[in-house]
Amino acid sequence: MGQGTARLVHDAGRVGGALMRINWTGVGTALVTPFTKAGGLDEPAVRRLARRQIDAGIHFLVPCGTTGENPTLTLAERVRIVEILVDEAGGRIPVLAGAGGYDTKEIIHLADQMRQAGATGLLSVTPYYNKPTQEGLYQHFRAIAESTPLPIIVYNVPGRTGVNIDPATLARLATIPNIVGVKEASGNITQMCEVCNVAPADFLVLSGDDAITLPLMAIGGRGIISVASNEIPADIVRMVETAERGDFAAARVVHRRILPLMQVNFIEANPVPVKAAMAAMGLIEEVYRLPMCSPRPESREKILKVLRGLDLLKGALV
Could you give the residue numbers annotated as active site? 155, 183
Q: Name residue 205's amino acid.
A: V
Question: Cβ neighbours of residue 10 under 8 Å, at least 6 residues apart?
Answer: 21, 22, 23, 24, 151, 180, 181, 202, 204
8 Å CB contact between 157 and 185:
yes
Buried b or exposed e, range 94-128, using 16+ CB within 10 angstroms: bbbbbbbbbebeebbebbebbbebbbbbbbbbbbb
CA distance linking residue 220 with residue 214, whole number of Å = 10
Q: H-helix or E-strand containing 305? A: helix 297-309
Question: Cβ neighbours of residue 148 under 8 Å, at least 6 residues apart?
Answer: 13, 108, 111, 112, 115, 122, 178
Residue 30 backbone phi and psi in degrees, to 5: -80, 90
Classify residue 263 as exposed, middle or buried by CB count within 10 Å of its CB (0-12, 13-18, 19+).
middle
Strand-pair partners of 97: 122
